[in-house]
């Protein structure tokens, strides 16, 4: 066996028919990951993976193993892992080893999944290209001179390059869906409050959500089943059953009403190839029986402004704890203030500093009402607008990103243009909705993503649409031509 199975289902089949052991899958994943040429990984956890694989093999032999037992996966390095370094892509956390695991990691551990290692990301998940990592940019396996998207670039690439079967990322404004689109895999952001944030290094608390990358919609749904559900350690969660996630995967689109928000197609900077691929996808959905309806989300334009107030405001506060007193980097100065200055000055990269300054400013006395309070009001209006649209349609269909993977370095000196890459994904975070990106063809030889957005807690509906599209097209089978070195 030279290639990992593409899906959880295929892998589970191999494991149960004894054609492969969990340890063999883990060794294969480790081998491919060690030879990764995309800088997708920050730490590979060989011993830990082998130990988990052996335990999964025992479970599999006993015959009562969960579906995820023995499946190799990759963890974004912003998700805390007990006794395994967790850097959030930042120098300031270099050497930090958490004494506890995130709930999502514990849940995957409990189901026998085998973690191969921790993946590269934009520092503290701040970025759309993975160029903001303190440990170097991640390269797109489709073309080495292109970005993989961000911030969960490493997790997207680990799946796209066939190094693991699935991975976890976090999505604050598109950090799962956009890299999924740019690397040609499926990536999904759950409804806010469905996945525990406990143990996940906070970026913007009211927007952050953990979600999976995989090669198929069904796999994404399987991982969601494992990680969804109330955690007493996260007070922002809602107790919702998640037994319907895979129920409607095969139901098809007959009778479904899908909204096409016109504002998502009239954005400056939208590449024609992207628009073409998405419009083709709409035709496929219609052919499969869906009723398409143009809808208006008139506040879409304001999403970016709202996002770039709330997100940096929360980040500026969340990142205050990195002061060199208790853990991580510490650069001593002659006094306390100078120790803060030097530690934070050296520990944080330029984009993180930019956002902390933005956020601090937005929360300052005299500006708070004009920025933060106003942004929260517009946030409510944006939510209301989605609520009204979902009275008419079952789901929304949009492009995931206005562009395909752009060249490394092309936007690093133009933050605004970088921020605009998330224009279609960040309103979903603002409204707390679930969204998924599925591959919908190529433009200039690079993958394009189709985003499907559903109402809160309607992941089942979202998966139904995505799975129907996946069955109707071969796009999810496209693989990058460049192989791991």
- Mind telling me the catalytic residues? 76, 151, 175
Give the range of 1-9, 112-120, 266-274, 325-333 binding another protein by CB under 8 A. Answer: 325-333
Encoded tokens for 271: 């590449």
Which residues are CB-contacts of 18 (< 8 A; sequence separation ≥ 6)?
none
Residue in 37, 110, 144, 336 binding another protein, rule: CB under 8 A: 336
CB of 155 to another protein, least distance (A): 17
Measure the CA–CA gap between 176 and 168, rounded to whole angstroms. 9
> What is the contact mask toward another protein in residues 303 to 322, using x (rule: CB under 8 A)?
----------xx-xx-xxx-
CB of 317 to another protein, least distance (A): 5
> What is the contact mask toward another protein in residues 95 to 134, using x (rule: CB under 8 A)?
-x-xxx-x--------------------------------
Residue in 64, 235, 413, 416 binding another protein, rule: CB under 8 A: 235
Q: Compute how many residues bind another protein; rule: CB under 8 A.
A: 43
* Spatial CA neighbour of 429 closest among 249, 191, 214: 191
CB of 427 to another protein, least distance (A): 18
CB of 34 to another protein, least distance (A): 27
Which residues are CB-contacts of 122 (< 8 A; sequence separation ≥ 6)?
89, 128, 129, 130, 131, 132, 133, 150, 151, 153, 175, 351
Cα separation values, 155 from 178, 244, 426, Å: 12, 26, 19
CB of 93 to another protein, least distance (A): 7
Q: Phi and psi at residue 122, in whole multiples of 5°? A: -65, 145
114-119 sheet: strands from edge to edge: 41-44, 114-119, 72-76, 166-170, 210-214, 186-189, 435-443, 446-454, 395-399, 257-261, 291-295
Per DSSP, the chain holds a count of helices (H) and strands (E) of 15, 11
State the DSSP code for 117.
E
Q: Are 89 and 121 in contact (CB under 8 A)?
A: yes
- CB closer to another protein out of 205 and 417: 205
* Spatial CA neighbour of 341 closest among 358, 329, 359, 351: 329
> What is the contact mask toward another protein in residues 367 to 386, using x (rule: CB under 8 A)?
-x---x--------------
> What is the contact mask toward another protein in residues 53 to 92, using x (rule: CB under 8 A)?
--------------------------xx-----x-x----
DSSP one-letter string for 355-381: HHHHHHHHHSTTTTIIIIIHHHHHHHH
Residue in 58, 83, 233, 332 binding another protein, rule: CB under 8 A: 233
- CB closer to another protein out of 104 and 448: 104
- CB closer to another protein out of 319 and 438: 319
> What is the contact mask toward another protein in residues 341 to 360, using x (rule: CB under 8 A)?
-------------------x
Residue in 327, 354, 410, 442 binding another protein, rule: CB under 8 A: 327
Measure the CA–CA gap between 163 and 176, rounded to whole angstroms. 17
State the DSSP code for 184.
T
Residue in 202, 245, 304, 329 binding another protein, rule: CB under 8 A: 202
- CB closer to another protein out of 310 and 466: 310
Interaction between residue 364 and another protein (CB under 8 A): yes
Cα separation values, 48 from 30, 52, 83, 101, 109, Å: 11, 6, 10, 14, 11
Query: In the complex, which residues of this chain contact another protein (CB under 8 A)?
Result: 79-80, 86, 88, 93, 96, 98-100, 102, 197-202, 204-206, 232-236, 313-314, 316-317, 319-321, 323, 325-327, 336, 340, 360, 363-365, 368, 372
């Amino acid at each position: 066996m030279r290639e990992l199975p593409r899906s959880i289902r295929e892998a589970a089949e191999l494991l149960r028919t004894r054609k492969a052991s969990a340890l063999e899958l883990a060794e294969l994943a480790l081998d491919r990951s060690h030879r990764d040429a995309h800088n997708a990984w920050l730490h590979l956890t060989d011993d830990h993976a082998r130990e988990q694989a052996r335990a999964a093999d025992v479970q599999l032999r006993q015959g009562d193993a969960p579906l995820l037992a023995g499946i190799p996966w990759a963890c974004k390095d912003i998700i805390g892992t007990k006794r395994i370094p967790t850097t959030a892509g930042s120098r300031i956390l270099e050497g930090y080893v958490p004494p506890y695991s995130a709930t999502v990691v514990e849940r995957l551990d409990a189901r026998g999944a085998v973690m191969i290692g921790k993946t590269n990301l934009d520092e503290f998940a701040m970025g759309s290209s993975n160029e903001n990592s303190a440990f170097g940019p991640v390269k797109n396996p489709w073309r080495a001179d292109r970005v993989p998207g961000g911030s969960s670039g490493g997790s997207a690439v680990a799946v796209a390059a066939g190094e693991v079967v699935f991975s976890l990322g976090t999505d604050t404004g598109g950090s799962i869906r956009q890299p999924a689109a740019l690397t040609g895999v499926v990536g999904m952001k759950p409804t806010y409050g469905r996945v525990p944030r406990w143990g996940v290094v906070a970026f913007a608390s009211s927007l952050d959500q953990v979600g999976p990358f995989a090669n198929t919609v069904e796999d994404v749904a399987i991982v969601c089943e494992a990680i969804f559900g109330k955690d007493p350690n996260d007070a922002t969660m809602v107790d919702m059953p998640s037994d319907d996630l895979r129920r409607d995967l095969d139901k098809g689109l007959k009778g479904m009403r899908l909204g096409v928000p016109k504002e998502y197609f009239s954005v400056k900077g939208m590449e024609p190839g992207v628009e073409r691929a998405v419009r083709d996808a709409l035709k496929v959905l219609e052919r499969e029986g869906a009723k398409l309806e143009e809808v208006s989300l008139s506040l879409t334009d304001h999403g970016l402004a709202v996002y770039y107030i709330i997100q940096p405001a929360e980040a500026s506060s969340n990142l205050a704890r990195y002061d060199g007193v208790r853990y991580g980097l510490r650069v001593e100065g002659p006094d306390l203030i100078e120790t803060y200055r030097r530690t934070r000055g050296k520990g944080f990269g330029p984009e993180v500093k930019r956002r902390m300054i933005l956020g601090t400013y937005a929360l300052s006395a005299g500006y708070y009402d004009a920025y933060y309070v106003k942004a929260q009001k517009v946030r409510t209006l944006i939510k209301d607008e989605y609520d009204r649209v979902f009275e008419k349609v079952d789901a929304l269909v949009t492009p995931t990103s206005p562009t395909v993977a752009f060249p490394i370095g092309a936007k690093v000196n133009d933050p605004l243009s970088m921020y605009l890459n998330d224009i279609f994904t960040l309103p979903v975070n603002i409204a707390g909705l679930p969204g998924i990106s599925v591959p919908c063809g190529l433009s200039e030889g690079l993958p394009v993503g189709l985003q499907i957005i559903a109402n809160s807690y309607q992941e089942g509906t979202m998966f139904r649409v995505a799975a129907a599209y996946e069955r109707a097209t071969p796009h999810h089978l496209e693989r990058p031509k460049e192989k791991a070195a």
